[in-house]
Amino acid sequence: MKNHDLADKLVDVDQLAQDALIDEELFAELLREIKSKDNTIRSNSYRTLLIISEEEPEFLYPHWNYFADMLKSPNNYHKFIAIYILANLTRVDDDNKFLEIFDDYYGILGGDKVMNASHVAANSPIIIKNKPELQERIIEKLLNIENIHQGKQKELVKAYAIEALRKIYPDAPDKEKIMEFVKDQLESSSPKTRDMASCFLDRC
């Protein structure tokens, strides 16, 4: 018998993902429990749906609005989940739904929560790969963190922005602006950000 116990910390999420593709009840449970207050259940549900979003995004795409609503939730865990899954779903976003939520998604970058802002930055290369027409708008957001992020750990968010820009840089249209931004971060008050800037400059 297959183990579908989402409360089991050792549950095989890869198997769960495969089973969910053919088991409607399991899939419905995953969608429901991704909002669970139980950390293990929520984590297992998220990890399973994340795998599906990576490997079979077209399966999750019909539920785009469900995750888009989570993006606007006051619950930061819900936002975190939506940040990752929506980024993966842009690969099959033929209806350009991401354009409709662009301001909501990148509005998180300008919020005051370092965790979610950082992961919006981290997922930007995926979105740009899938939506190259948004490249310039996204890069502008990343380069403008100093002015838009409202949290106390703004310097830390810049580390994630630099890592994203490192992946974007080879195909970026305005490399000088990116390089200028990264060089400025060599003086950052965040050790992680300084290290990221040095790493960027060494590799580029």
CATH number of the domain bearing residue 94: 1.25.10
pLDDT, position 181: 94
Whether 104 and 186 share a structural domain = yes
Whether 100 and 47 share a structural domain = no
pLDDT, position 110: 86
CB burial readout 137-169, b (16+ within 10 A) else e:
ebbebbbebeebbebebbbbbbbbbbbbbbebb
Whether 50 and 110 share a structural domain = no
Whether 83 and 156 share a structural domain = yes
Q: Is the pTM of this model over 0.75?
A: yes
pLDDT-based confidence at residue 3 (cuts at 50, 70, 90): low
Q: Token pair of 152, please?
A: 């106390």
pLDDT digits (tens, 9 = 90+) for 99-108: 999 999 999 9
Domain of residue 2 covers 1-55
pLDDT digits (tens, 9 = 90+) for 41-85: 999 999 999 999 999 999 999 999 999 999 999 999 999 999 999
Among 39, 55, 71, give the residue marking a domain's end: 55
Report whether pLDDT(143) > 60: yes
Whether 18 and 90 share a structural domain = no
Whether 197 and 133 share a structural domain = yes
Whether 165 and 68 share a structural domain = yes
pLDDT digits (tens, 9 = 90+) for 114-136: 899 999 999 999 999 999 999 99
